[in-house]
Structure 1
Amino acid sequence: MEEQVVNLIVGGVVSWTMAFLMLRKSFPKRSFEFCNRTVSTLHATLAVILASLSVQDWMSPISPLASKPSPRQARALAVTLSYLIYDLGCGMFDDKRVNVDNVIHHLVSITGISAGLVYQKCGSELVAALWITELSSPFLHMRELLKELGYRDTDLNLVADIAFAVIFSIARMVGGPYVTFKTVSADNPFIIKVIAKIKMSTIMVELAPNTLLLLCSWVHLVLGLYVKHFEILCVWLLRLCHWGCSWSVLSGFTKLPEW
């Protein structure tokens, strides 16, 4: 890993931490999560911008494959890596119980990006995955920020809900499998291919419950039906189904389509 990239990562961790501490100092009445989500929103916006600026050819955005990260790609990846390190540490000091799923997600992401920067491979694929992952994140955090600001049952909150669900579903249903296929089929290091499969299995587990929650919310809003118990049952059934699918992907029993 180049010294310039290492310096950017270290500087990024310090910068994200300072931003969080400044928010805590400026808004003492706001919760720990509110300040952290504000930093997360800033990162997601910056990450999408940097990832977009690093694309060499929008006619073929995931190219060249298995290549050394360009300076712009390395910058985008380093900024996100520094944020992930900050957020992982920040989560350990949260007043609530440590979220194990979130810790695993961060460790997998940190390992994947670090491997790409160390091996000097998979620049285009990693940036594409970064773009897809963070595209819906500002709306995800905005939903929670609006709730704490007192805009829970407003049109603005509804717009944020719909924007998140639509972008999240399309990006991860269409873009996720495509980027995973490109990553595992290219001449990338084994560890990066494993991380790509793990990330894809995570998308499979997350996608259906989130989409179902949106549909149930619309049923509740439009028809006035109380669907809480039905919603919970469906979510857990879908989680069991997708855990099975994820295990088959990781075990190699399910092959990705040859597009």
Structure 2
Amino acid sequence: MTSPLLQVACSLIGWFSLYGSFCHLNKNRSYEWNCRIVTVIHGFLIISLSAYVGFIDGPWPFTHPGSLNTALQVQVLCLTLGYFIFDLCWCVYFQTERLLMLVHHLLSILGIHMALILGESATEVNAVLFGSEITNPFLQARWFLREMGHYHSFLGDLVDFLFVALFTSVRIGVGANLLYCELVSPTPRWFVKVGGVAMYIVSWVFMISIWRFAWRKSVLKYQAWQGRGKRISNRQGNNHIKTK
């Protein structure tokens, strides 16, 4: 089997090449637009691969944390490690992300690298990847809708709802169960468990920001609905006075 280092190098070159191709084809679009297209492709690819690894190929992460890595798990981790290195370099160069997102990328890189070096725990790392990436398409859809001027619509509201619902249920709800299984199992190394706790804390920091956003948007929607209701009542009242 090809060494993990070579696989990561090929993955990194592949993601940079894909990004360069989009920049060449979409010269009228911004660099961020093309980078986010690459992000969407990575998201759908890793969701599919990590789902197959976790639900079909196995082993099951809730019962076998810390187990030895399989060849397929290594390939998936190498593929996504190359992407995270590419995306981190892009974010640092263009300075588009806040510190929290950079910390998330660094923790992801360290976690994947650790699983590859140890030759174990790819099972739970792969599960974390699935939980992290399953919300990514909706996050990117919000950005593209905003760029195209279609965010303030029913479609934008639907994307926001699905994003918040998936983040809360999968990354916080299912993630808590996975972290519990990781902590109570005697198999994973202690520093792997510490890494899992760190990733879950980052998810909660994201979750607090997302809930605040959802609350503000809900309040604004409610106020706009109230305002429309008052305007309709005023018009009906004025029409009633005129008819008299």
Instruction: Say whether the 8 Å CA contact 2:44–2:137 is kept in structure 1.
Output: yes
Instruction: Say whether the 8 Å CA contact 1:66–1:123 is kept in structure 2.
Output: yes
**Matching of residues 205-220 of structure 1 within 5 Å:** 205-220=205-220
| 1:5-30, Cα deviation, whole Å (9 max, x unpaired) | 22221111111111111111111222
Q: Which residue of 1 aligns with 2:31?
A: 32
Per residue, is there more helix in 1 or in 2? 2
The worse-fitting range, judged by mean Cα deviation, of 3-12 and 160-169 is 3-12
- AA of the residue aligned to 2:184: S
Q: Which residue of 1 aligns with 2:91?
A: 91
Question: CA–CA distance in 2 between the matches of 1:89 and 1:59?
Answer: 33
Whichever of the two has the greater Rg, that structure is 2
Question: CA–CA distance in 2 between the matches of 1:214 and 1:205?
Answer: 14
Instruction: Say whether the 8 Å CA contact 1:53–1:72 is kept in structure 2.
Output: no
Question: Gaps (5+ residues) in structure 2?
Answer: 227-244
The worse-fitting range, judged by mean Cα deviation, of 11-20 and 62-71 is 62-71
Question: CA–CA distance in 2 between the matches of 1:59 and 1:92?
Answer: 36
Instruction: Sort the Cα spacing of 1:59 and 1:6 in 2 relative to 1 into closer, same or farther, 3 A.
Output: closer
Q: Which residue of 1 aligns with 2:45?
A: 46
TM-score by length of 2: 0.84
**Matching of residues 1-259 of structure 1 within 5 Å:** 3-55=2-54, 60-94=60-94, 96=95, 99-186=98-185, 187-224=187-224
Secondary structure of the 1:67 match is coil
Instruction: Sort the Cα spacing of 1:104 and 1:216 in 2 relative to 1 into closer, same or farther, 3 A.
Output: same
Question: CA–CA distance in 1 between the matches of 2:63 and 2:80?
Answer: 20
TM-score by length of 1: 0.79
Secondary structure of the 2:188 match is coil
Identical aligned residues as a percent: 21
Secondary structure of the 1:55 match is helix
How far does residue 128 in structure 1 lie from its aligned partner after superposition?
Answer: 1.0
Question: CA–CA distance in 1 between the matches of 2:198 and 2:20?
Answer: 33
Secondary structure of the 2:85 match is helix
Instruction: Say whether the 8 Å CA contact 1:62–1:128 is kept in structure 2.
Output: no
| 1:53-110, Cα deviation, whole Å (9 max, x unpaired) | 112558955342211121222222111111101101111221x466332222211111
Question: CA–CA distance in 1 between the matches of 2:42 and 2:96?
Answer: 24
Secondary structure of the 1:78 match is helix
Question: CA–CA distance in 2 between the matches of 1:8 and 1:166?
Answer: 35
- AA of the residue aligned to 1:124: T
- AA of the residue aligned to 1:192: V
Question: CA–CA distance in 2 between the matches of 1:60 and 1:5?
Answer: 23
Instruction: Say whether the 8 Å CA contact 2:59–2:123 is kept in structure 1.
Output: no
Higher relative contact order (CA 8 A, sep 6+): 2
Instruction: Say whether the 8 Å CA contact 1:45–1:138 is kept in structure 2.
Output: yes
Secondary structure of the 1:159 match is helix
Secondary structure of the 1:224 match is helix
